[in-house]
Amino acid sequence: MTSILSIKSIPSAPVEIKDENGAPTGVTFELAGPTHPQRKQLAMQAQRRIQAQLQKTGKVTLDDPVEQDQQGKEDLAAFTLGWNGFADEAGQPVPFSQQKALELYSNDDYAWLVDQLKAALNEKERFMKRSAPV
């Protein structure tokens, strides 16, 4: 019998980036999981904005799609905690910063990368780990 109590949420997890053929590239991005404090804080802020608007006007207004797209990229940059193996076109390592991540995600040439990372953020199992039996 398996105890579900041995399965725990983990705050972050690596995502290995795949190329256009689905092959691993050796580049990994570390993403904040649903229980990571930074991710939880941003989710709560978004909920508070919606609740405040609803209380004030009695209805929820959707943001412009361009604003939604930009907010999604800003959130993804905030959820990106680091990367490994990421080099520029000259083969030089690209140092991580959330600003550098936002610049990368805002470049339409790398929309495929944004799609991979957003998909990974929604994989709940990625942010779970079974602890060793005692």
Q: What per-residue confidence (pLDDT) applies to 55?
A: 85
Q: Stretch 62-87: mean pLDDT, rounded?
A: 93
Residue predicted with more confidence, 55 or 83: 83
According to DSSP, residue 87 is labeled: B
Helix or strand or coil: residue 103? helix
Band (57; pLDDT cuts 50, 70, 90): confident
Q: Which DSSP state fits 62?
A: P
Average pLDDT taken over every residue of the chain: 92
Rounded CA gap, 12 and 123, in Å? Answer: 12
pTM for the model stands at 0.86
Per-residue confidence (pLDDT) for residue 54, from 0 to 100: 83
pLDDT, position 63: 78
pLDDT (average), residues 31-39: 95
Average pLDDT over residues 30-42: 95
Strands 128-130 and 80-84: unpaired
Is a pLDDT exceeding 60 seen at residue 134? no
Instruction: Please determine, for residue 3, whether its predicted confidence score (pLDDT) is greater than 90.
Output: no
| Residue 15 confidence (pLDDT) | 98
Tell me, what's the pLDDT at 133? 63
